[in-house]
């Protein structure tokens, strides 16, 4: 998805001598994905990015599975996840499979004592509550309510929050996160019918070269373990960089809904894709305009996928008693649909102000111990008349 971008100072030709004012060489690093066959960037450091001083004992953050196999419509009350000071400790995985992990987090404090790198997954962090700055060697991205922060694997970062009141919905993808293929032309440009375009993408700005030596703690996640590394140089020592591999952001408020005379299927809401799953954005939009249209969604049998809906804000016409931060999981194998009475009630309505994030995974999701603790156990009965 990202287009070519560059910040700072780089040499005229790649892989050539690039020297500091004192005559010594800057350290060039190629950050590549899928071997050398996909997106990459070239980074120029004040020091080699390889100076490891200490390696601590790794510890597990693997999700603890509580319900591996199930066929039950499930609801989780996401804001019942208790806030914690530390960013990493606040991240609670709730729904997981071999393609992605879905977590909730309510961190109160900024990351100041360490840096974090996810080496096993791309991260999509949806900002439900809070504002602040994503800080990386590539530059800074200011974030606010409704932003998706897309952080490619291998990116060292810190999150700086403006207040203690933060709520995050996090997707870890074990495959690259991209824009939907059907919205891109053969050259990678988003086409005219896409619900967003390159102008909507927030790229890093304000590259600040931190030329420091010392002890810098970087917590690196790999295969479900956190490895505490101590490096001898600051990880944000980028002099400059260019390429296609870097963090970026997109606001759900910039997603332009696709509507029609009759009810449109969920793929029109697709925003990102990974291997075996998609991420969709439900935003305020005009309802269907056929004179006999039914705005409420029709009953649907999930044959090939589970369906996860994360409720963000607004009035959800198809469900009763929805609260902010609620997650519904409708597993593949049984149908689901609008709440009793909502179909007839929707007729004649012209607009919805709902805001939600939907994920459709094509392999079943498992519930973790953290999920069970915030489950509404009676949700599966919500269609009883």
Catalytic residues: 263
Are 302 and 331 contacting, i.e. CB atoms less than 8 angstroms apart?
yes
Taking the C-alpha atoms of residue 360 and residue 363, their distance in angstroms, rounded to an integer, is: 9
To the question of whether residue 306 is assigned a binding role by annotation, the answer is yes
Q: Residue 132 gets which letter from DSSP?
A: E
Q: What residues contact residue 74 under an 8 Å CB cut-off, 6+ apart?
A: 328, 329, 331, 367, 375, 379, 380
- The candidate with the shortest Cα–Cα distance to 196, out of 172, 213, 179, is 179
Are 243 and 5 contacting, i.e. CB atoms less than 8 angstroms apart?
yes
Taking the C-alpha atoms of residue 101 and residue 384, their distance in angstroms, rounded to an integer, is: 31
To the question of whether residue 5 is assigned a binding role by annotation, the answer is no
To the question of whether residue 304 is assigned a binding role by annotation, the answer is no
Half-sphere exposure of residue 29, counting CA atoms within 13 Å on the CB side? 21
Please report where in the chains the tokens 């980074």 appear, as a residue: 43
Burial (CB < 10 A; 0-12, 13-18, 19+), residue 198, is: middle
Cross-strand bridge partners of residue 42: 30, 242
Which residues carry a binding-site annotation? 300, 306, 336
């Amino acid at each position: 998805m990202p287009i070519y971008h560059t910040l700072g100072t780089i040499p005229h030709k790649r892989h050539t001598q690039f020297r500091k004012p004192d005559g010594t060489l800057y350290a060039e690093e190629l950050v590549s994905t899928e071997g050398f066959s996909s997106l990459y960037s070239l980074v120029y450091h004040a020091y080699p990015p390889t100076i490891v001083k200490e390696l601590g004992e790794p510890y597990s953050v693997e999700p603890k599975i509580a319900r591996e196999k199930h066929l039950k419509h499930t609801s989780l009350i996401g804001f019942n996840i208790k806030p914690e000071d530390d960013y990493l400790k606040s991240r609670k995985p709730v729904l997981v499979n071999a393609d992605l992990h879905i977590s909730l987090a309510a961190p109160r404090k900024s990351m100041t004592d360490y840096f974090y790198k996810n080496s096993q997954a791309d991260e999509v962090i949806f900002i439900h509550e809070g504002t602040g700055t994503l800080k990386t060697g590539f530059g800074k991205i200011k974030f606010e309510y409704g932003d998706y922060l897309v952080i490619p694997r291998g990116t060292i970062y810190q999150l700086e929050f403006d207040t203690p009141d933060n709520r995050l919905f996090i997707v870890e993808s074990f495959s690259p996160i991209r824009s939907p293929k059907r919205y891109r032309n053969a050259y990678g440009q988003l086409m005219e019918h896409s619900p967003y375009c390159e102008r909507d993408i927030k790229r890093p700005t304000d590259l600040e070269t931190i030329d420091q030596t010392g002890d810098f703690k970087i917590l690196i996640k790999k295969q479900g373990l956190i490895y505490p590394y101590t490096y001898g140089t600051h990880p944000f020592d980028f002099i400059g960089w260019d390429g296609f591999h870097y963090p970026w952001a997109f606001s759900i408020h910039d997603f332009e809904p696709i509507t029609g005379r009759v009810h449109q299927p969920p793929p029109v809401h697709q925003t990102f894709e990974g291997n075996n799953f998609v991420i969709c954005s439900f935003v305020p939009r005009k309802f269907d305009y056929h004179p006999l249209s039914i705005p409420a969604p029709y009953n649907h049998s999930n044959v090939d996928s589970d369906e996860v809906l994360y409720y963000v804000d607004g009035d959800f016409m198809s469900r009763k008693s929805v609260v902010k931060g609620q997650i519904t999981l409708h597993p593949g194998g049984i149908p689901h649909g609008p709440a009793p009475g909502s179909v007839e009630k929707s007729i004649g309505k012209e607009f919805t102000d709902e805001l939600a994030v939907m994920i459709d995974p094509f392999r079943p999701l498992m519930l973790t111990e953290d999920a069970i603790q915030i489950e509404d156990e009676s949700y599966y009965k919500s269609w009883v008349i």
